[in-house]
Structure 1
Amino acid sequence: MKLAENMLFKYSSGKVIRVLYINQITSIVYVIDMDSNKWPYPMEKETFLTLHKNKEIIAMDEDVYSRVVLEEELSEIEKLKRDYSWDVVMYFKNTLADEEHMYISKYRQKGMKETMATFGISYNGLKNYIIRYFKGGRTKSSLIPSFYRCGAKGKERKVGEKKRGRPRLNNTNGGVNIDDRMKKIFRVGLNRYYYNERKNSLKTAYELTLRDYFATESIQENGVKIPILPNTENLPTYNQFLYWFKRMNNSKKEIISRSGTRVYQQNFRSIIGDSTQDAGIGPGTLLQIDSTVFDIYLVSSFNRDIIVGRPILFLVVDVYSRVILGFNISFESLNSYTGAMVALANSMTSKKGLCRKFGIDITDEEFPYCVPQRILADRGELVGRQIENAIENLGIIIQQTPPYHADYKAIIESAFNLLNLKVKPFADGVVVIGNKKGKERGEQDYRLKATLTIEEFTKIIIKCILFHNTQHVLNDYVLDETMLEEKVEKIPIKIWEHGLKHKKGQFRILPDEVIKTYLFPSDYATVTARGVSYRKLLYASDYALQNGWFQKARIHGSWRVKICYNPSDLSAIYIFNENGKGLRKFDLLDHLSMYTNKGLDEIEQLKKHEQEMDNKNKEKELQEKLKLYSEIENIVKEAREKTESERDYSKSKSQRIKGIKENQKNERLLQREKAREELAMKEIVDEFTDEVDEFALFRVISDGNWEESDDGQ
C-alpha cells in the first residue's frame, strides 16, 4: 500500500485516524485521532504498515470529515471567522522552521506562545483552530465554523400577519414582513438604481424603489405628477432594505457595475503567489499548467465527413520530476477556465477509470496524481475570483508568470513539443508549417486529410503520456548526489518515485468529491418526470429513484438542483447533497447512450448539425405542404361546382337534413355494390390479359420454329 497524507484509517474498535505528515527520511508518520481533541502523535511507518497488513486498521474510501461548501453559500460572518482562523493558523505555521515542527511538542509550544501573544487568544482557542485545521485535511474550508449544526440555518421564518422581530420603541416604524414578493422588489430596485454608473447612494436607491413600487396614488402640481406614499407602517424601512442588500450583494458585481472592470482588476482583485519559487522540495510541490492548439485537424465522431477543427490540449506537469500528472482535450477556447479546471482535477485524481473508457488499462504508479502546494500558470486560464477561490479552498497557491515570458514555463512547453513530434509523423490532417509560397498546384489542403476523432486523438495522447512518464529519458535533467548514489534513471516516473522516498515534499491527496466540487464548473439542472435534465440530456440514479424524485416532479412540478460536471465527458453529472456534504453521481439514461463519453463541444456540434438538417427538411416540408393545400383546394372547388349543379333548390333545409342515417345506409350499400362490380371487372381484365400473353408467346415460338423448318428444307 502506498501511504499518502490525508488518508483516513479505521481501527476495529471504531477509532478513526488521519495521516497528517510522513517523514520519508526518518520513517515517522504523524496521525491524529478524529474523535478527540488531542494533539497529533507519531508512529513508526513500519508499525503502521504492519497494522494495515494484519487488517487491524483499514483504509477508508470516503472522507466523511471533509466539509464541502461553495463560497457563495457562506455568510459574511462565516467568511470572516474562517479567514481570521486561517490567518492565525498560517501565522503559527510560519513561525516554525519546518512543517514537521507542528507535530512535535517542544517546537510547537514556542510557535503557539508567539501566536497567542500576537493575536491575543487563549491556548485552548489556538489549539482548537489547529486541531480543526488538521482534522479537515489542512484546507481553508476546514476552518469554516459549524453554524449549520445550530438553529435553522438558511431557513427563513414563515411570514404571517404579525410583524416579526422585537417591538419598536417610541412607536417608531417597525417596517413590514419581508416576503418573496418584497425581496424581488428590492432586487429590481437595486439593479435599476444602485448597480449602474450613476453611483447613486443606497439610500437614494431605497427611496426611488419606494416611489416606483409603493406609491398608491398621485396628485398633479403645476403639471407634474407627484406620487403619494401610504402610511409608514405599510412601508419597508431603510434598515430592512439595507439588511437584504447585504444578503444579496455581490461585491465584485457592485464594483464592476459602478466603477468598471478596469478599476476592479487594478485595485480590488486578489493578488496571490509569485513566479520565482522552484520545486526543489520534492514531487507534488510545484505544478505547471498550460494549453496549446494542437497541430492537427479532427473530424466529428458522429459524422466523419464533418471537419471540426483543431483541439485544445491542456497539460499539467510536475516540475520536480517532469511527470505529466493531468491533461484535458476539448474544443474550448484557448486559456479557458473550464479546460484548465478539468485538467487540474484530472491531475489530482486517479486516471484509471478515464483510461479504461478508451480501452487502456493503467496503474496509478504509471500515471500518478496528487494535490500540489503551488501551481504556476500564465496570465490566462487561472485569473479570476472564481478560480482563486476554488484553488485556495484546496490549500493551493497560484503563481502567475509575467506577461510575454513563456520561458518561465519551459518544462511544459517542452512537453507540448515532444507530443507534437510523436503524433505528427503518423496522423492525418496535421498542420503543414513553413511553406511560404502556399500550396503547390494540385496539392491537397491538409485540413481535408483529417481522419481522427477526438476519442481516437485522446487515445493517442494517453499512450504518448504513458510513454513519456515511464520510458522517456530526460537528457538535460541534472541529478543530485542522492540520485547519483542510488543510480536513479533519468526517467520521469523513476525521479518521482525517488522523490517520494527521500524528499520532504507534501504528497497530498483529497477526496474526489472535494476536488470535483471546487474545480469542475457548476450549473443548475432541472428535475423532471422524465429524469434530471441538463442541456437537453437526461440523467438518473438509484438515489433519485428510491426517493421518488421523478414521481414528485410529475405530481408537484419540476425544480432546479445545483450540479457540477466534467465538460469533456457528459456521461454523468454530480448533484450536490441537500445537507451540503458530498456529491451524488447521476448517469446518462440508456436511450441516450450515443452521447456516452462525449464532451460538451461534440454534443453541441451534433445538435447544431441536427438543427440544420431539421431546418432543411422543414423548408422542404413547407413547400410540399403548400402543394398539398393547393391540391385540397382544387378538389374542394370541383366538388363544390358539381354539388351546386346537382342540388335541388326546391327542398327546404329541414327536408335536406331529414333521413341522414337512411341516406348513409343506402350510400354504404351503393359503395359495396360498386366495389363488387370493380372486382368482377378486374378478374375479367386479368383473364383477358393472360390470354393475350399466351397467344403472343405462341406466335413468337411458332415464328421461330417456322424459320428453322424453312432452313431445314
Structure 2
Amino acid sequence: MTSLFPRMVIQWEEILNRDKFERILWIDKKNNLVVLFPLTPEVTESTFPSYLPLSDIEEAIRMGNAIVRTVDPYTRTFSSDSTFVKRHGKARDEAWSKIKDLVLNEPDIYDPKKRGALFRSAINEKGISSRTLYKSCRKYWKYGKTPSALLPLMDKCGAPGIKRELTKEMVEAALEKGEPLPKRGRKKIIHDLSPGINLTTIDKENIKKALNEFYLKKSEISMVEAYQRMLEKYYTKIETDGTEVIEIDKAPSIGQMKHICYSEMGLGKKIKARKGRNEFNLNHRSKIGEGKVENVLDGPGFMYQMDSTVGDVELVSSIDRSRKIGKATVYFIMDIFSRYIVGSHIGLEKGWDGAHRALFDAFTNAAVLSRNESFESKKYCAVPKHLLFDKGSENIGLNSDNLTLFFNIETMNTPSFRADLKGEIEERFNWLKNELRTLPGFAKSIIKPRGEKDPADKATLTVADLRSAIKIIIDDYNNNSHLQNYMRNLEMVKDNVVRCPVNIWEWGLENSGSLAYVDYETAIVNLLPRGKATITENGIKLNKRIIVSEQVTKVEEYVEFYYSTARAINEEWFISSGAKIGSSVDVAYDPYDVNILYLVLDDGKKVERCNLTSNYSRYIGMHHSDAVDLFKAEQFETMVRKEQEHQSKMLKNKSVSNVVNEAALKTNEDVIQSNLSKSSQKNGKRTAALEEKFHDQGVTSITQHLKRESAVEEKNDENEEKLIFPRQSKYQQILQLMKEKEEF
C-alpha cells in the first residue's frame, strides 16, 4: 500500500466527481482526515482547502481510481544561484514573511471556522489587503508548500503561445468609433508612415508561398531578398500611367515574415530545404543516443572500418626524380574496438587494386598482431567479423560476396555523404594530414591559393619514401598515442588498461575478440589483383595494359614481365614445340613487388610462387607502379625519338634530292652543248669515267690538258724532242698520263 505524505499530488480518474489533481496539505491519521487543495482546472478566489477521509483516498488508490503522481506537475524547482532567484528572491522573501506565521498554523488554517479570524488578525498585523493575503496563501499551497512557490510566475506573463489576433469585439469597437482596426503585436518605434497590418489568412498564405518558393531553396538567398520578391509578386498594383508599384502599406513586414518562418516552419525543415538532407544529416542532426561504439563491440576483430583519401604530398618518380608524378592514395583499415590501424596501403592505384591490397595487408598482419607463433609459421591470416566501408571509389569492384563466401566477413555500407558514421577512421585522416604538413611537397589545399608557390616544385619523396614515412607515423600512433576520449568498460578500468591502441588490442585478445583465421592461399587468390598470363619460350608472360600518353590521342601499350618457376622448368613448359606454349594460366600478383607472381592452380585450391627471369632482373624489388612508370618513361622517350628520327630523315632526303636535282641540271646542259648522238655519248662514257678519276686526283680536265699539249706541238714543230708526249692517239696519251701520275 502506498504511504501518503503532505505535499503529494493525487490524480483522480474521470469517473469520480473530483478535480483531476489535488495536493495533500495535511494528514490527521488519528481522525482519519486528509486536507486537500484542488489544483485544477484553475485556482480562483473561491478555491479553499477541503477535507476527505483518509480511508477513501486509500481505497481509491487500491481500486485504481486514483494514483499518487511521482512527478509533481506544479512544483517549482530553482537553483539557489540561478539568475532568476537572484533577481526575484527579495520579492519572494517579502511575501513569505507576510504569510509564514499564518500558513504554518496547522491545522487551524484549514478549518473554515477558524480561518477567517486568523486571516483578519494577519491583515491587521501586517497591514496588507485580504486579497493579497489569500492570493499568496493559495499560491503557496498550489505550488508545493515551499517558500520558492512564492516566486513570481514569469512564465505565465505575456500569454506565451497564444496568437494575438483580432477579436470580434475589437472589430466592432473600431467600426463604432470610426477608427482603423487596432494593430496587434509589438508596435513599431516609428509608425508615422505605416503602423503595419494585421495578418489575414491571405497574407499568411502569401508569406508561406514566398518562403517555399524563394527562401527554402539551396540557392540560400537571404530573408531580405525573399521578402523583396514576395512584395514584387503579391503586393504590387498598376498605376494609371502603367507603372507597377509596391503597396507597402498593405503588405506584411519582414518581421512578420520572419515570425511565420520561425514559428510555423520547423528548423529542421528549413535547414534541409536550404542546405540539403545530406548536409543536415552530417552536420545539423540531433545526436541524442549516439554513444561510444567501443562499449558495444565484442573485442578486436568484431568490426573493421576501411576508407581512403588522397595523400596531400606531391611525389616524384623513383626512376627519374626530376619528374613529378602527382599524389598517392592512402588506404587505412582500423579495428574500431581498439582504434588500432591494422592495415594500410599507399600507392598510385585507385579503386579495386588499392582497396584489396589494403585488406591483404590487414589480414596478413595478424601474425604479429595476434602474437601467435604457430600462426606465423603456418602462414594464416586473421580476418574480422564485420567490415564497414562507404560507397566511395575505393570499393568499386569490391566483391562483397567474395568476402562473405571465402572469409565469412559481413560487409556493411554507410549511406552516401555520411562520413560521420565512420568517424573514427575519418578522424585518423585528419590526424594524418597534420602529421604530413612538415614533409616537402605538402599541398595545403586541392586548389593552389592565388599567389602561393606550387607545392610540386618542392616535391622530393617517392611513393616508397612516403610509404616508409607513413608506416613510421602509424607505428608511433599504434604504440604510443593516448586515446583521451576513449571510454573504457568496467573490466578495462579494473585491469587498469592504458588507453593506447596496442594496449587495448592486446587486452581485447586476451579477454575476448572476434578474429577468425583463414589460410594464406585464400587471401592471395581472393584479395590480390588477378589476371591471365601466357606461357612462352621466354617464360610466363604477364601483360599489363597501360596508357603511355593522352596529349593528342590516347596511346596504349602493354608492359611485359616474364617469370619462371621450378615446376614449369621441370615439366618443360618453355620448350618451343611443347604443348604448353601459347596456353594461358590464372595468376595473382602483388602490387608491392614485381618479382613475385602467384600461379593459381586447381581452381584456386593451390598457389605457386614464381620469380622474374634473369632478363628482367632490373625490376626486382620494384613496386608495380614503379616498373610501369619506368616502362612508360622509356616508351614515351621512344615516341619522342621516333618523331625526331622522322624529322631527321625528312631533312636528309630533301638534301639528297637537292644534290640529285642540281646534278641533273648540269648534266642536261652538257648534253645539250655537246650535240652528240646517243651512240657517241655511249662511246664517251669511258673517257668521262677517266675524267672523273683524274678530277678526283687533282687533274681538272683531260680534255683541257690535251688541248694545251696540242698547242705546244704546233708552236714547237721544229723541236719535237721537247714535246712531253710524242704524237700518239688520244687514248695512248691518256694512258701515258695516268702512268706518269702513278709514278709521281
Q: TM-score, normalised by structure 1?
A: 0.46
Return the structure number with greater relative CO, CA threshold 8 A, min gap 6.
1
Q: TM-score, normalised by structure 2?
A: 0.45
Rg: which structure is higher?
A: 2
